[in-house]
């Protein structure tokens, strides 16, 4: 079992390098990405008892930044996701040691941070984004999505888990931002 988790996570780690992170920010969502976004928003919306009917796209970094810094944005999302992360992490510990799991996750964190940050520098230039906050915040959000996806991959057979859906939004070149006033925002 141990070797299986290592192989699965190594394969995922290598795939991170092939993703065009943030390549479509500010652009309209393709149908498949919109479907993933609705699914992700639906996962989150029952927790605030408010249905998300509309997905909106922030067209610029300035607009996206104003959304994520809005005091009314739904911060509960991170707590909900953290509970799911902890449950997945503990499930993996039934199959492998914490030391080995940390080793694999550290490798994924290193790979994802390097790959994402390199891509973000290019994306920032392409989109005339001079704000260093963009690279830090966007990079952290995407790295978290990689960590969450790694937990799914290591747990095997969780293809319908919401973290897979969230990761697909990132791999489409977009950034799922947050819920704000019954809209779900994507950049």
Residue 90 belongs to some domain of the structure: no
Contact assessment for residue 101 and residue 4, using Cβ atoms and an 8 Å cutoff = no
Residue 77 belongs to some domain of the structure: no
Tokens of 160: 């319908």
Residue 81 belongs to some domain of the structure: no
Q: What is the pLDDT of residue 43?
A: 80
Beta strands 183-186 and 54-57 are: parallel
Q: What is the pLDDT of residue 52?
A: 63
Residue 171 belongs to some domain of the structure: yes
pLDDT above 70 (res 48): no
pLDDT above 90 (res 51): no
pLDDT above 50 (res 89): yes
The residues pairing with 184 across neighbouring beta strands, listed in sequence order, are 55, 179
Q: Supply the range of the domain harboring residue 8.
A: 2-70+95-186
Residue 87 belongs to some domain of the structure: no
Residue 85 belongs to some domain of the structure: no
- Span 86-108, average pLDDT: 94
Digit-coded pLDDT (tens) for 99-151: 999 999 999 999 999 999 999 999 999 989 999 888 899 999 999 999 999 99
Q: What is the pLDDT of residue 72?
A: 81
- pTM exceeds cut of 0.75: yes
Residue 135 belongs to some domain of the structure: yes
Residue 79 belongs to some domain of the structure: no
CB < 8 Å & 24+ apart, contacts of 110-118? 111/13, 111/16, 111/17, 112/16, 112/142, 112/143, 112/146, 112/147, 113/139, 113/143, 115/16, 115/17, 115/19, 115/21, 116/21, 116/142, 116/143, 116/146
What lies within 8 Å, CB to CB, of 8 at 6+ separation is 153, 154, 156
Structural domains counted in the chain: 1
């Amino acid at each position: 079992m141990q070797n299986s988790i290592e192989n699965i996570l190594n394969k995922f780690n290598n795939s991170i390098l092939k993703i065009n992170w943030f390549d479509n920010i500010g652009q309209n969502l393709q149908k498949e990405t919109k479907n993933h976004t609705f699914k992700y928003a639906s996962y989150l919306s029952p927790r605030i008892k408010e249905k998300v009917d509309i997905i909106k796209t922030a067209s610029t970094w300035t607009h996206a930044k104003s959304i994520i810094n809005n005091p009314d944005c739904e911060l509960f999302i991170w707590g909900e996701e953290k509970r799911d992360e902890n449950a997945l992490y503990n499930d993996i510990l039934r199959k492998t040691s914490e030391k080995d799991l940390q080793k694999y996750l550290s490798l994924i964190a290193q790979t994802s941070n390097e790959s994402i940050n390199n891509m973000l520098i290019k994306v920032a230039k392409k989109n005339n984004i001079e704000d260093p906050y963009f690279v830090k915040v966007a990079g952290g959000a995407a790295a978290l999505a990689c960590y969450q996806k790694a937990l799914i991959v290591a747990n095997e057979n969780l293809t319908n888990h919401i973290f897979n859906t969230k990761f697909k939004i990132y791999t489409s070149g977009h950034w799922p931002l947050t819920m704000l006033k019954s809209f779900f925002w994507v950049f």
